[in-house]
Amino acid sequence: MKFKHLAVSLLIGALFAGTSHAQVKIGVVSSSTGPIAMVGIPQKNTVPLMPTKAGGQSIRYIPLDDGSDPTASVVAIKKLISEENVDAIIGPSGSPNAMGAIQFIAEAGVPLLAPVGTAAVVLPMNEQKKWVFKTTQNDGLIASALLEHMAKTGVKTVGFIGTADPYGENWGKVFAEGAAKKGIRIVADERFQRQDTSVTAQALKVIAARPDVVLIAAPGSPAVLPQLALVDRGYKGKFYQTHGAALPDFLKLGGKKVEGTILAASLMLVLDQVPDSHPSKKIAKGYMAAYEKTYGVTPATFGGNMFDAGLLLEKAIPLALAKGKPGTPEFRSALRDALEQTRELAATQGVYNMTPADHSGFDDRGRELITVSNGTWTLLK
Amino acid sequence: MDVQIALMLAQDGLTNGAIYALLALALVLVFAVTRVIFIPQGEFVAYGALTLAMLQGGSMPATAWLLAGMGALVALIDGATALRNGQTQKLAGVLGWNVGYPLGLVALLTLLPVKDLPLVAQVVLALAVVVPMGPLLYRLVFQPIASAPILILLIVSVAVHVAMVGLGLLFFGAEGQRTPAFSDANFEIGPLMVSGQTVWVVMASVVLILALYQFFERTLYGKALRATAINRNGARLMGISPALAGKLTFFVAALIGALSGVLIAPITTIYYDTGFLIGLKGFVAAIIGGLASYPLAAVGAVLVGLLESFSSFWASAFKEVIVFTLIIPVLLWRSLTTRHVEEEE
C-alpha cells in the first residue's frame, strides 16, 4: 500500500516535472454537511472565488467534504497528501477536526491553513504546529476587546454561558484568564448544547447569580438561544457575544430581543461603516460582492476565513517558487517559510503579520466592536 | 435553590417532558405494530417545524417536492403491480392518492398567499405536507421487508434516519429557524410566570394522548392496530391487513412527530438535525416503558424532562451524560425483573 502510494506520487511528480507550466495543487477540506455545515457551506462556496494564479503558476483547488467528522477529515487529508500530492491544504472547518489533522500534515510536511475557531491549533507553538496557520482571530484577541469594553463601562461581575464543545470551553478558559487580570469576577459558568430545546435552567442559574453582564460564547446561530431565554426570564443586564455570533441569522432569530448586544468580530459585518482608510475594507467588499453575485446571499464570516487562506497562499507561492518546483518537499517547506514571513497582508478579516511564534497574525485591525441597534449591526464608537 | 427556581425548572421539565412523551408514545406504537425501532421519528419533528418556518417565510417548502417524489415512486410500484394483476379499477385510487394529492398540494401552496394566512391554516398546510410522508415511507422502505428480523429493520431505520437528515440539510440549509408563538399571553400562577406557548405544548400533548387513547379503545382501526401489536399472525387471520396496519401506524407516528415540531418551534431554535436528539430522549422514555407500555413510557418521558431540566441547572456541562446514563439502571432493572423471552423469528 505504502509502495503503491509512493509509486503513484512519484508518477504524478514525474508527470508534472515534465510539463512546462507546473501547477500548484491546494487541497481543501470543509464540512459542507453534518452538524457544523453552517460553517462549512460558506467555506465550500468560497473556493471558486479564490485566486487561481500566483507567480505565473495556475492554482488548482481540490475540494473534499468531511461531513463534520474528525475521522473523515484525517482520511481526506491523508488522501490529499498521498494521492494528490498537494502543496498545501486549507481546512478543515471544525476545531476538533483540525486538531486531529495536525500530526499528519506535520509528518508529511504540508502547510495547513486552518479556518477554525480554536487557538489551540497554533498555540502553544511546537514542532508540529509550526506547519499550521490559522485564518481566524484568536479567541484571546476578541476576548481582550470585550474585556476592555467591560472594564471601561464599569462591569464588575459576568455570567458566562458557552457551548459544551471546544469553542465554548476555550472561550471559558481564555475569558477567565483575561477577566482575572481586569478584576472582573465570573459569577456563573454554564454550558449548553447546540441542539438543546431549552436553556431555561442555565438562564435561571445565571439570573440567580445576578451578574452585571452576560457573555455568551457559541458558534453560529445557537448563540441566540441562551440570550432569548435570559430575556424571557426577565434578565435586564447587557449582553456580550463572541465573533461566533457574527451572522445575519443572529439578527433574524433574535429580533428585538438582541437589541443592544455587544460583540467583537471582523469588519465584514459593518463594512459600510468602517472608514475607507482601513486596509481590509476594499478586499472584504470585493469578496462579498463576488460571493453575492455567485450565490445571491451575503457570505458568513466563515467564508472570509477561507478566502483569506487563498490570499495568504497567493502571496507566499511566488516566494516559494524560487526555492523549488511545486509537488516537491522543497517547495512545500519553502511555502511554509514564506507563509511565516507574511507581513502586512490585508485580507477580508484584518491584516496578517505572521511570526514564528504567532501563526494567526492578527492585531487590533482584525476586530471591531459592534453592537446591534435598530435590528442591524452597527459599529460601536 | 429556592422554591421559585425549583418550580420554574419543573415547569420547563414538564414542557419538554410533554414533547418527549408524545414521541415515546409514537415509538412504542411503531415498535409494537411493525417491530421497527423508528429512529427517524425525530426527523419528522424537524421537518414539521422547518416546513412551517418555510411556509411562513413565503417560500415553497422543498419537503412538498420530496412528498411528490415519494408519491410518484409508490404510484409506479403499486401501479405496475395493479396492472400486472389486471386490477385496472385500482389504478385510479393509486394515482389519485400518490400523484394527485401531492401535486394538488403543491398547486394549493403556489396559489394561496400562504405567508399571509392565519397561523392555524399554515400549521394545517405544514402537516398536510409532512404527515403523508409517514405512510409513503412505510410503503417504500419497510413494507417490502416487513417480515425481516428486528436487527435488519433497525439497520434500515438508521439508514432512513441518515438519509432524512441529509435531505433536511439540502432542503432547509444549515441555519436554525424559529416560528412565532401561538399566543403571546403570559399567565401568572403564584410566583410563576407561565408563557402561553408552554400551556399550548402541555395542553396539546394531553389532548393528543387522550385522542390516541380514544382511537385505540373506540375505533375499528385503532382496535385493528392493537390486535396487530398483540399478535401479528392472529390479526392477519382475522382479516387485518399488515400493510394497512403499518401504513396507519406510520401515519400516526408522522403526525405526532410533525405536530411536536410545530409545537416546540416557537420555544427553541430548530435545526435540520435537531430532531434526532429530541427523538433519542423520547426513545429513552420508551425504553423505560420497555417499548411496550404506553403509561410507563409517558411517565418516563416526564422523568427524562425533569431530570434534564434539573441536571442542566446543577451541572450543565454534564446534562446529556446524566440523561442518557439513566438508561443503564433502567435496563438493569428491567432485565432483572422481567423474564427473558427469546424473540421468535
Distance CA B225, CA B240 (A): 9
Domain assignment present for B343: no
Give the pLDDT of residue B341: 59
**Contact across the interface for B274 and A195, Cβ inside 8 Å:** yes
Which backbone phi and psi does A308 adopt, to 5 degrees? -60, -35
Task: Tell me the per-residue pLDDT of A235-270, one tens digit each, with 9 for 90 and over.
Answer: 889 999 998 888 888 888 888 889 999 999 888 888
* Closest of B13, B57, B21 to residue B207, by C-alpha: B21
| Residue B113: Cβ within 10 Å count | 7
Q: Kindly calculate the radius of gyration of chain B based on its CA atoms and give it in whole angstroms.
A: 21
**Contact across the interface for B9 and A200, Cβ inside 8 Å:** yes
- Which residues on A lie below 8 Å from B313 (Cβ)? 201-202, 204-205
Q: What is the mean pLDDT of chain A?
A: 87
| Total number of domains constituting chain B | 1
DSSP 8-state secondary structure symbol assigned to residue B140: I
Domain assignment present for B68: yes
Mean pLDDT over residues A344-363, rounded? 90
Tell whether the model's pLDDT for residue B18 goes beyond 90. yes
- Which residues on B lie below 8 Å from A247 (Cβ)? 175
Q: Which three cell numbers stand for residue A131?
A: 506547519
How far does A215 lie from chain B, in Å, by closest CA? 16
Q: Is the peptide bond before A92 cis (omega within 30 degrees of 0)?
A: yes
Q: Which three cell numbers stand for residue A241?
A: 457575544
**Using CB atoms within 10 A of its CB, is residue B249 exposed (0-12), middle (13-18) or buried (19+)?**
buried
Q: Are A237 and A264 in contact (CB under 8 A)?
A: no
Question: Which residues in chain A are classed under CATH 3.40.50.2300?
Answer: 2-137+283-363, 139-265
Residue A139 bridge partners (DSSP):
none
Task: Tell me the per-residue pLDDT of B29-59, one tens digit each, with 9 for 90 and over.
Answer: 999 899 999 999 999 999 999 999 999 988 8
Residue A47 bridge partners (DSSP):
none
The b/e string for A136-158 (b: 16+ C-beta within 10 A; e otherwise) is: bbbbbbbbbbbbebbbeeebebb
Topology of A2-137+283-363 in CATH?
Rossmann fold (3.40.50)
Tell whether the model's pLDDT for residue B131 goes beyond 70. yes
Task: Tell me the per-residue pLDDT of A310-347, one tens digit each, with 9 for 90 and over.
Answer: 999 999 999 999 888 888 999 999 999 999 999 999 99
Task: Tell me the per-residue pLDDT of A110-160, one tens digit each, with 9 for 90 and over.
Answer: 999 999 877 888 888 898 899 999 998 888 889 999 999 999 999 999 999
Tell whether the model's pLDDT for residue B344 goes beyond 90. no
| Chain A interface disruption, residue of B170, B177, B312, most A CBs within 10 A | B312
H/E element, B127: helix B119-130
**Contact across the interface for B277 and A193, Cβ inside 8 Å:** yes
Q: Are A247 and A352 in contact (CB under 8 A)?
A: no
Give the pLDDT of residue A15: 47
- Which residues on A lie below 8 Å from B269 (Cβ)? 221-222, 224-225, 253
Distance CA A113, CA A129 (A): 11
Q: Which residues contact B332 (CB under 8 A, 6 or more apart)?
A: none
Distance CA B202, CA A117 (A): 39
Do the strands A345-346 and A262-265 form a parallel or antiparallel pair, or are they unpaired? unpaired
Tell whether the model's pLDDT for residue A16 goes beyond 50. no
Domain A139-265: CATH superfamily is: Response regulator (3.40.50.2300)
- Ranges of beta strands (E only) in B179-270 are 186-189, 192-195
**Contact across the interface for B313 and A205, Cβ inside 8 Å:** yes
Domain assignment present for B262: yes
Instruction: Specify the range with the lowest mean pLDDT, choosing from A266-275, B244-253, B332-341.
Output: B332-341
Do the strands B192-195 and B186-189 form a parallel or antiparallel pair, or are they unpaired? antiparallel
| Chain B interface disruption, residue of A30, A196, A231, A298, most B CBs within 10 A | A196
**Contact across the interface for A193 and B15, Cβ inside 8 Å:** no
Domain assignment present for B269: yes
Q: Which residues contact A350 (CB under 8 A, 6 or more apart)?
A: A137, A266, A267, A280, A362, A363, A365, A366, A367
Q: For chain A, how far is it from start to end, CA to CA, in angstroms?
A: 60
- Which residues on B lie below 8 Å from A225 (Cβ)? 268-269
**Using CB atoms within 10 A of its CB, is residue A1 exposed (0-12), middle (13-18) or buried (19+)?**
exposed
The b/e string for A323-360 (b: 16+ C-beta within 10 A; e otherwise) is: ebbbbbeebbbbbbbbbbebeebbbbbbbbbbeeebbb
Domain assignment present for B19: yes
Q: Are A348 and A287 in contact (CB under 8 A)?
A: yes
Confidence tier at B345 by pLDDT (50, 70, 90): very low
Three-class SS state of A286 = helix
Task: Tell me the per-residue pLDDT of B231-257, one tens digit each, with 9 for 90 and over.
Answer: 888 888 988 898 999 999 999 999 999
Three-class SS state of A127 = coil
The domain of B271 spans 3-337
Q: Are A375 and A251 in contact (CB under 8 A)?
A: yes
Residue A368 C-alpha from the chain's centroid: 16
Distance CA A234, CA B221 (A): 48
Say which residue, B329 or B188, is predicted with more confidence.
Answer: B329
**Contact across the interface for B174 and A232, Cβ inside 8 Å:** no
- Which residues on A lie below 8 Å from B185 (Cβ)? none
Confidence tier at B114 by pLDDT (50, 70, 90): confident
Q: Which three cell numbers stand for residue A364?
A: 487590533
H/E element, A59: strand A57-65
Chain B residue closest to A205 (CA)? B313
**In this structure, is the dihedral angle defined by the CA atoms of residues B68, B73, B78 and B82, taken in order, positive or negative?**
positive
CA atoms within 13 A on the CB side of A211: 26
Q: Which three cell numbers stand for residue B290?
A: 420497555
Q: Which three cell numbers stand for residue A358?
A: 504567532
